């Protein structure tokens, strides 16, 4: 097979500046403006540009959900979105949940129901759960599990996570926790 010579792609400094795009968005209630490369993923904008490292990168291939944040109230895997697409949006990350030293009711429910373990998947689980609560999703066991299908936990079961989300949904919406909800301390399988 003939050898095809590699042509180096040279980006001159003035080209780099021209390639940058200015974006402005609200992150955890604070307006943020920055120059970003058009190819920069939202997760790296949050972690590296803004220093919000609670949003994790588990796979970079949109499989694990560790990078889940809320964009305009809806849960989004931030490794599947470009930072430039976040221009003009309102973003919420795990850092924005607790206020005045008080855990958000969903974080409190995770604590009470032993729904967290390694801390790697947990921010994504919490944000995905909050997305479900925000959208008024059905809180049956099955529906919550379906809603979390894009979030992987490899070290524990999912039952306590489901229970915590149901419990917080009940408190935030003023509803009863579904009868099928598990109990604190129960380590169920997926």
Residue 155: CB atoms within 10 A of its CB come to: 8
Of 166, 130, 129, 168, the C-alpha closest to 149 is 129
Determine if 95 is a binding residue for ligand FES (CB under 6 A): no
- φ/ψ bin of 28: left (φ > 0), alpha (ψ from -120 to 50), beta (otherwise): left
Of 60, 117, 128, the C-alpha closest to 94 is 128
Candidates 46, 77, 130, 159; binder of ligand FES (CB under 6 A) is 77
Determine if 36 is a binding residue for ligand FES (CB under 6 A): no
Candidates 66, 71, 91, 109; binder of ligand FES (CB under 6 A) is 66
Size of the site for ligand FES (CB under 6 A): 22
CB of 84 within 8 A of CB of 152? no
Q: Which stretch binds ligand FES (CB under 6 A): 30-38, 82-90, 112-120, 174-182?
A: 112-120
Candidates 27, 50, 54, 65; binder of ligand FES (CB under 6 A) is 65
Q: Which is nearer to ligand FES, 93 or 122 (CB)?
A: 122
């Amino acid at each position: 097979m003939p050898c095809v010579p590699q042509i180096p792609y040279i980006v001159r400094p003035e080209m780099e500046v021209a390639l940058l795009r200015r974006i402005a968005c609200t992150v955890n209630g604070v307006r943020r403006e920055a120059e970003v490369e058009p190819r920069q993923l939202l997760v790296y904008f949050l972690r590296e540009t803004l220093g919000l490292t609670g949003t994790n990168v588990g796979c970079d291939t949109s499989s694990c959900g560790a990078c889940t944040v809320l964009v305009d109230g809806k849960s989004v895997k931030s490794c599947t979105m470009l930072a430039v697409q976040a221009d003009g949006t309102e973003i919420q990350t795990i850092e924005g949940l607790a206020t005045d030293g008080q855990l958000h009711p969903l974080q409190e429910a995770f604590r009470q129901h032993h729904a967290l373990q390694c801390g790697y998947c947990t921010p994504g689980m919490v944000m995905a759960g909050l997305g479900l609560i925000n959208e008024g999703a059905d809180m049956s066991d099955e529906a919550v599990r379906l809603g979390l299908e894009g979030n992987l936990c490899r070290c524990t079961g999912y039952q306590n996570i489901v229970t915590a989300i149901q419990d917080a949904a009940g408190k935030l919406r003023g509803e009863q926790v579904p009868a099928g909800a598990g109990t604190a301390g129960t380590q169920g399988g997926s």
